[in-house]
């Protein structure tokens, strides 16, 4: 009895060890499959997650069934060794069935993953093809636009340069012609002025002879009245369109005596003169000089917008300078003259005739200046156009390069996605290879007790070479 009891205890211990080792191997295999399923769950999409949930539920159910069967085996092993062997075989059969179920589910998951991968790869290839085609079309379109813009720009620049060169040549020809005409006119005007000056000198000599009589005539009347009378006497014949009136505008605080303005038939002003009359008889208390009135006269000329200023004066009667005729004091104040009353009409005539002769040249000079301004404005507009076109070209080039960079980034991102999917496929393939390599020999390697039990079962016909019950080879 003691020997039988000892054997029974040893058998119980061996049974418990065998069951524990079998459970450890099965749990290890279960953990490995759970890890592989967890990796597959992270890579696949919603369908794969549902399959993994189902697989985990099946594993839990199998574990619960296994635990119940282990408890049942513990109670039955006390009856007999044969019952123990059958119970162990039955437990291993159930476990192998559960393992086969898990392996089949893993294969299904792998096939689903393969299908998802192939679908993703097909979509990726399609997207890459579309992106490449779109990129090629955009590149061709941008190249065509760029070439067209460059051709249009060259044509515009060529046309603008041709127009400018033609206008430049025309202006140069006109300017040369104007210079020649101006030289001829200046020569003619010089000859005419020399003749007029000679006539003026003769008139001065004649007027000097009349000085005594004129001075006698002016006795009893003011100088202003004399000048106004002299002008009105010849106004209708010599100055039909002239304005000669007293300056009554005192808005600026001062005024001259008379303002003379003459214009042509078109109404264009020819010449304007500010007159100031100073009579010796009006200043008997203090003897003033002509230069005492230059500053005020120049101020009145500027404020009233006159071109010339003339002082008609009887001051300094003994001065040889002022008695010699028309005195030019432009070195003191611009366009200012001092005359005696007998030169009042001649100075107006001289200035008016000179202005008429120079009016044509002033008009031509203004026209040339206006043309030069037009050429300058055209050149500025051309430069503005070139600058704006260059800015638009640079902006288009930068946007073109940005589009190319974005396309390259998209291609890199899709390539990384493809590499990630290929890595997931490799991991699934390695997991499948590991599952396919699981055999009873591998499970019982290094475990003589389980090897012995499986050998006995094989001898009794309960199992054959680890490939029954649908075990993977």
pLDDT in tens, 163-182: 777 877 887 787 788 778 87
Buried-exposed string 281-315: b where 16+ CB fall within 10 A, e elsewhere:
eeeeeeeeebeebbeebbbbbebbebbbbbbbbbb
The SS3 of residue 163 is: helix
pLDDT of residue 80: 58
- pLDDT winner (highest mean) among 97-111, 135-149, 300-314, 446-460: 300-314
**Burial class of residue 21 (count of CB atoms within 10 Å of its CB; 0-12, 13-18, 19+):** middle
User: pLDDT tens-digit profile of 438-456?
Assistant: 676 676 777 777 777 777 7
Q: How far is CA 392 from CA 386, 397, 398, in A?
A: 10, 9, 10
Contacts of 101 (CB under 8 A, 6+ apart): 58, 62
- pLDDT winner (highest mean) among 43-52, 214-223, 305-314: 305-314
Give percent of the chain above pLDDT 70. Answer: 83
pLDDT of residue 462: 56
pLDDT of residue 308: 94
Q: How many residues are recorded in the chain? A: 473
33/27 Cα distance (integer angstroms): 10
Q: Is pLDDT larger for residue 403 or for residue 301?
A: 301
Secondary structure percentages of the chain, helix, strand, coil, to 5 = 75, 5, 15
Other Cβ atoms within 10 Å of 437 Cβ, number: 10
pLDDT of residue 329: 93
Phi, psi angle pair for 284, to nearest 5°: -80, -25
pLDDT of residue 348: 92
Contacts of 89 (CB under 8 A, 6+ apart): 457, 462, 463
Buried-exposed string 55-87: b where 16+ CB fall within 10 A, e elsewhere:
beeebeebeeebeeebeebeeebeeeeeebbbb
pLDDT of residue 74: 67
Average of per-residue pLDDT across 216-239: 76
pLDDT of residue 471: 43
Q: How confident is the model at residue 208 (pLDDT cuts 50, 70, 90)?
A: low
263/299 Cα distance (integer angstroms): 23
Q: Is pLDDT larger for residue 103 or for residue 472?
A: 103
Average of per-residue pLDDT across 322-342: 91
Strands (E) across 286-366 are located at 308-313, 327-328, 336-339
Average of per-residue pLDDT across 188-205: 77
Mean of the per-residue pLDDT values of the chain: 77
Average of per-residue pLDDT across 291-308: 91
Whether 95 shows a pLDDT value over 70: the answer reads: no
The SS3 of residue 215 is: helix
312/340 Cα distance (integer angstroms): 6
210/202 Cα distance (integer angstroms): 13
Where does residue 469 fall: left (phi above 0), alpha (psi -120 to 50 degrees), or beta otherwise? left
Tell me which residue of 365, 283, 350 sits closest to 317, measured CA to CA. 283
Q: How confident is the model at residue 7 (pLDDT cuts 50, 70, 90)?
A: confident
pLDDT of residue 216: 38
User: pLDDT tens-digit profile of 351-372?
Assistant: 988 888 777 776 677 677 777 7
pLDDT of residue 209: 56
Q: How confident is the model at residue 468 (pLDDT cuts 50, 70, 90)?
A: very low
126/375 Cα distance (integer angstroms): 59
Tokens (6 digits) for 112: 């689903």
Strands 327-328 and 243-246: unpaired
Buried-exposed string 236-248: b where 16+ CB fall within 10 A, e elsewhere:
eeebeebebeebe
Q: How confident is the model at residue 298 (pLDDT cuts 50, 70, 90)?
A: very high
């Amino acid at each position: 009895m003691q020997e039988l009891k000892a054997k029974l205890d040893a058998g119980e211990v061996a049974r418990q060890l065998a069951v524990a080792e079998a459970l450890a191997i099965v749990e290890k295999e279960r953990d490995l499959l759970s890890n592989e399923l967890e990796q597959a769950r992270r890579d696949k999409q919603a369908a794969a997650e549902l399959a993994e949930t189902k697989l985990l539920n099946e594993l839990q159910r199998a574990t619960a069934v296994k635990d119940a069967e282990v408890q049942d085996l513990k109670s039955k092993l006390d009856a007999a060794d044969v019952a123990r062997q059958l119970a162990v075989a039955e437990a291993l059969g159930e476990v192998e069935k559960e393992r086969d179920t898990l392996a089949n589910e893993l294969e299904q998951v792998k096939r689903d993953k393969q299908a998802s991968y192939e679908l993703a790869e097909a979509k990726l290839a399609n997207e890459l093809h579309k992106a490449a085609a779109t990129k090629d079309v955009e590149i061709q379109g941008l190249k065509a636009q760029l070439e067209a813009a460059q051709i249009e720009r060259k044509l515009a620049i060529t046309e603008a340069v041709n127009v400018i060169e033609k206008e430049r040549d025309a202006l140069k020809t006109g300017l040369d012609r104007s210079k020649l005409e101006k030289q001829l006119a200046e020569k003619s005007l010089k000859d005419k002025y020399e003749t007029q000056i000679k006539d003026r000198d003769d008139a001065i000599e004649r007027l000097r002879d009349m000085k005594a009589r004129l001075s006698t005539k002016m006795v009893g009347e003011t100088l202003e009245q004399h000048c106004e009378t002299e002008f009105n006497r010849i106004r209708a014949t010599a100055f039909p369109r002239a304005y000669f009136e007293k300056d009554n505008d005192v808005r600026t605080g001062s005024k001259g005596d008379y303002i003379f303005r003459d214009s042509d038939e078109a109404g264009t002003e020819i010449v304007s003169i500010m007159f100031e009359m100073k009579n010796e008889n009006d200043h008997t208390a203090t003897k003033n000089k002509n230069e005492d009135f230059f500053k005020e006269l120049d101020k009145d000329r500027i404020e009233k917008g006159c071109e010339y200023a003339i002082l008609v004066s009887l001051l300094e009667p003994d001065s040889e300078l002022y008695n010699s005729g028309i005195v030019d004091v432009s070195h003191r104040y611009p366009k200012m003259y001092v005359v005696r009353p007998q030169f009042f009409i001649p100075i107006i005539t001289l200035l008016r005739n000179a202005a008429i002769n120079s009016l044509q040249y002033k008009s031509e000079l203004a026209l040339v200046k206006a043309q030069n301004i037009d050429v300058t404005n055209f050149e500025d507009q051309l430069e503005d156009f070139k600058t704006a076109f260059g800015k638009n070209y640079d902006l288009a080039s930068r946007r073109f390069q940005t589009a190319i960079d974005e396309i390259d980034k998209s291609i890199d991102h899709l390539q990384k996605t493809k590499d990630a999917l290929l890595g997931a496929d490799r991991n699934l393939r390695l997991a499948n290879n590991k599952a396919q390599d699981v055999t009873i020999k591998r499970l019982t390697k290094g475990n003589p007790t389980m090897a012995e039990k499986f050998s006995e079962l094989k001898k009794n016909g309960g199992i054959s070479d680890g490939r029954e019950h649908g075990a993977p080879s």
